[in-house]
Structure 1
Amino acid sequence: MGLPVIDSYPMPDRSALPASSPSWTIDPARAALLVHDMQNHYVQAFPAGSSPVVELIDNITTLRELAGTLGMPVVFSAEPVPEPDAASIVPQLTPRAGEHLLVNVRHNAFLRSHLGRLLRSTGRDQLILCGVRAHLGILLTAADAFMHDIQPFVVADAVADFSAEDHSMALRWIARTGVVCTTNQLLRELLHSRAAHDTSATVRPVHEQRRPG
């Protein structure tokens, strides 16, 4: 089944985001990053060199780099595609040693994959989602995460869809059971959480501090 023709459209900014019902705070010690279906087959359907695909790849790259720096698991999901090159993750995001690549047989990255087991084994109950497509794989995976007590955080300008309308619709639905944010918002919150954790770890309790001789 062929993909529809996708016209260029602008990525949403913070002012365009729906209000999220949950008030969760991201914690790099609890979170993993899922890069969903960023395969040549799907990404090449977007007009090259223009929005939204330029921002999509740039923002996912930024999220992936910070996740690696903070020691967060990075997971790539991919659907079976007959042609090997079409099935590959786009060159800018080729999985690295230590990152995880799993196959999901449907749009939902949890379905018949070991994503849930991977998150449990690494003590992760928060999932940052980016990739394509917002109203299919991202929406369904976020909903399944919520159903299994995993808090989904969907990065609005690091996902893309067939159209701006589909993109916006998906974010509105996701915001009912997940957190919708921008790349910059999430980066700030991850760094703030790590800084707060590092500060608390270096402050010794009063009863452990040395008293004057």
Structure 2
Amino acid sequence: MAIPRLPTYSLPRPEDLPKNKVGWTFAPERAVLLVHDLQDYFLHFFGEESPLVAQLLANVAALRAFCKSRGVPVVYTAQPIDQSPKDRGLLNDMWGPGLNAHPQLKEIAAALAPESDDTVLVKWRYSAFQRSPLEAMMREWGRDQLVICGVYGHIGCLTTALESFMRDFETFVVGDAIADFSPEDHDMTLRYVAGRCGVVVAADALIGAPAPRLTRAQVEARVRTLISLDGEAFDPNENLMNYGLDSIRVMTLVTEWRKLGVEIGFVDLADNPTLDRWWALIERKLAAA
């Protein structure tokens, strides 16, 4: 059977997360961030303009921004198109042809498109460790913690977390940076991880430590990434919507910049949609802080 149409629901609040059995402490110098299966194919089952997807992407973007600021390697998984029957195996029986039938949806969500220093692994099975160099990479980097975010919680995220634990990596699942088939599946995933194979943590709690002061160069670089403008001419007074920036990406920036100490709102950015105006707003917020 194919993946069903999925409902929108509210991501858990920090007070909703289950109690952890172990007390592992996240350490950026030991960690790898895994962005799990955030391809358009898997997200489109939540429907167009899903508030759940918008919040998920914003939380993952903030998490990624923090990890990059702390030197944490970022690894993505993504299923390929044109999977042969042998490669796809029993997934055909369980889920049908998957991406083979929707090759136009193969890309990772544009708001979280991998950057040049990120790693993208080909995903063949539920667990990101299957038929991939993930473990070898982590050993080579000297990393023994894995932080997991993405979709779907009770399938790939949970299976990867369990296998990570069995390979002796301290495993963290970010409870408000995964999404699932239903709130019940989401809750089951978090309870299983907390009691059997890892630590469940909220994005804000994991980010925790104060981040470096935001600079104009960082703002422009991040905007360029979101509008896929690498090294090309860029007018800082041009309306960013003309470059293809949309509301989901703006919300991503709001969430990221708040994590960097800039209390700025969506309406602030939407009403002043140029790089120069954004930086003027950010400077005022930084000065006030």
TM-score after normalising by structure 2? 0.64
Equivalent-residue separation in structure 2 for 1:185 and 1:136 (angstroms): 24
SS at match of 1:3: coil
Question: Which residue in 2 is equivalent to 1:132?
Answer: 151
**How many equivalent residue pairs?**
192
Is residue 174 from structure 1 mapped to residue 193 from structure 2 by the alignment? Answer: yes
For structure 1, the 5+ residue unaligned runs are 195-213
Q: State the shift of 1:149 in Å.
A: 0.6
Pairing 1:99–2:123 present? no
* 3-state DSSP of counterpart to 2:19: coil
1:16 maps to what in 2? 16
Secondary structure at the residue paired with 2:46?
A: coil
3-state secondary structure, aligned to 2:165: helix
Displacement of 1:84 after TM fit? 3.6
Q: Given the alignment, which residue of 153, 173, 184 partners 2:204?
A: 184
Aligned residue identity for 2:107: S
The structure where strand makes up a greater share of residues is: 1
Amino acid at match of 2:170: Q
Residue 148 (structure 1) aligned with residue 175 (structure 2): no
Conserved in 2, the CA contact under 8 Å of 1:79 and 1:107?
A: no
Question: Partner amino acid for 1:96?
Answer: E
CA shift for structure 1 position 156: 0.5
Aligned ranges 1:64-143 → 2 under 5 Å: 64-80=64-80, 81-82=99-100, 83-143=102-162
Cα distance in 2 between the residues matched to 1:85 and 1:96: 21
Residue of structure 2 in register with 1:39 after alignment = 39
Runs of 4 or more, structure 1, over 4 Å off, are none
In structure 1, how many angstroms separate the alpha carbons of the residues matched to 2:14 and 2:179?
Answer: 15
Which amino acid is 1:90 matched to? A
How far apart are 1:8 and its partner, in Å?
1.2
Residue 92 of structure 1 aligns with an amino acid whose one-letter code is A
- 1:96 match: secondary structure: coil
* Secondary structure of 1:155 counterpart: strand
Task: Give ranges in structure 2 of 5+ residues lacking alignment.
Answer: 81-98, 213-289
Cα distance in 2 for partners of 1:84, 1:186 equals 35
Alignment of 1:56-67 (within 5 A): 56-67=56-67
Secondary structure, counterpart of 2:189 in structure 1: helix
- Alpha-carbon distance in 1 for matches of 2:63, 2:110: 16
Q: 1:53 Cα deviation (Å)? A: 1.1
- For the aligned residues, what is the CA RMSD? 1.6
**Percent of residue pairs identical:** 41
| Whole-angstrom distance in 2 between the partners of 1:103 and 1:109 | 9
1:28 aligns with 2:47: no
Separation of aligned partners in 1, 2:106 and 2:171: 25
Superposition deviation, residue 47 in structure 1: 3.1
Q: Which residue of 2 aligns with 1:158?
A: 177
**Cα distance in 1 for residues equivalent to 2:106 and 2:143:** 28
Larger RCO (CA within 8 A; separation ≥ 6):
1
1:46: Cα distance to partner?
1.1
Hey, what's the Cα distance between the residues in 1 that align with 2:61 and 2:114? 11
Match for residue 209 of structure 1? none
**What do the CA deviations read for 1:113-152 (whole angstroms, capped 9, x no partner)?**
1111111111110011000000001100000000011011
Q: Secondary structure at the match of 1:72?
A: coil
SS across alignment from 2:156 = helix
Classify the secondary structure of the residue corresponding to 1:44.
helix
Correspondence 1:55 to 2:75: no
| TM-score of the superposed pair, with normalisation by structure 1 | 0.86
